[in-house]
C-alpha cells in the first residue's frame, strides 16, 4: 500500500 495516501485521512 501507498503509505502517503493513508495519511491524508484524519
Partner 1 sequence: MNIFRLAGDMTHLASVLVLLLKIHTIKSCAGVSLKTQELYAIVFATRYLDILTSFVSIYNTLMKLIFLGSSFSIVWYMKYHKTVRRTYDRDQDTFRHWFLMLPCLLLALLIHEKFTFFEVLWTFSLYLEAVAILPQLVLLQRTRNIDNLTGQYIFLLGGYRGFYILNWIYRYFTEPHYVHWITWIAGLVQTLLYADFFYYYFLSWKNNKKLQLPA
Which stretches of the chain bind partner 1, using CB under 8 A? Answer: 1-3, 5-10
DSSP 1-10: --HHHHTT--
Residue that the C-alpha cell 491524508 belongs to: 8
Grid coordinates in use for 6? 493513508
- CB of 5: closest distance to partner 1 in angstroms? 6
- CB of 1: closest distance to partner 1 in angstroms? 5
- CB of 3: closest distance to partner 1 in angstroms? 6
Amino acid at each position: 500500500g501507498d503509505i502517503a495516501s493513508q495519511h491524508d485521512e484524519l
